[in-house]
Amino acid sequence: MRYIEERGRTVEEALEKALQRAQIDPSDAVYEVVRDGSSGGPALVRLYTEIPELETIEQVVTEFFEKLGGKVEIEVMPKRTKYYVDIRTRNFDSLLIGKGGKTLEALDYLLNLMIRRKLPDITVEVDVSGYKERKRQFLINKALAIARRVRETGREMRMDPLTLRESRLVRNALKKEKGIRTYTVGRGDQKVLVIAPQTSN
């Protein structure tokens, strides 16, 4: 996998620089926004110029669904240390996602096993119609709203039970929030994340 990186005042400016440098048509561009510039400093875009793994990943996923008798649209995007595979269907998205995303977790596990047979060093994150991305954004927005409420009332609040990955996501989202702290209560799958006012020393 080969790529080039460019900086700019905005994501659009950084991407334009990268496209000119690589001589790639915008319609064929595969890129990743490493830094959008919203937190200070320039935006940083990573434009991929050669991704031989993409074809293999697409082939494995396509053949898997063909054997199931379903037609899907697949988008594969590089994401730092892994590949993000978004699957879109016409009428059975909810079936692939399952209650609380449980079926999607199993699908992710199965497709990773199949892909690693051909690409041992590759990890993919499987999604269906952006479900995981929407859920991540929902959790972040909810956590930020709870943090504001905690600051206003001075009282701690608990979030609904989260997976380890979701808890890590929320903690990272709240790192820059002033006046609050987070901790967990419970054990194992019963752990609950608590957002509390920052105590003074």
| Residues 34 and 71 occupy one common structural domain | no
Percent of the chain with pLDDT over 90: 45
Whether the predicted pLDDT of 194 surpasses 80 = yes
Whether the predicted pLDDT of 53 surpasses 80 = yes
| Residues 38 and 74 occupy one common structural domain | no
Does the pTM of the predicted model rise above 0.75? no
How many structural domains comprise the chain? 3
| Residues 93 and 144 occupy one common structural domain | no
- Binned at pLDDT 50, 70 and 90, residue 1 comes out as low
CATH number where 180 lies: 3.30.1370.50
| Residues 39 and 68 occupy one common structural domain | no
Whether the predicted pLDDT of 143 surpasses 80 = yes
pLDDT (tens digit per residue) in 105-142: 999 999 999 999 999 988 999 999 999 989 999 999 99
Of 112, 129, 146, the last residue of a domain is: 129
pLDDT on residue 26 = 83
| Residues 115 and 151 occupy one common structural domain | no
Whether the predicted pLDDT of 152 surpasses 60 = yes
Tell me how far apart the alpha carbons of residues 71 and 74 are, in angstroms, rounded to a whole number: 10
Write out the residue range of the structural domain in which residue 8 sits: 2-50
- Binned at pLDDT 50, 70 and 90, residue 64 comes out as very high
Non-local (6+) Cβ contacts of 194 within 8 A are 156, 157, 158, 159, 182, 183, 184, 185
pLDDT (tens digit per residue) in 68-108: 887 889 888 887 678 899 999 888 899 999 998 899 999 99
- Angle 28-29-32 (CA atoms, 0-180°, nearest 5)? 155
- The pLDDT mean for the chain works out to 88
- The larger pLDDT score, comparing residue 1 to residue 63, is at 63
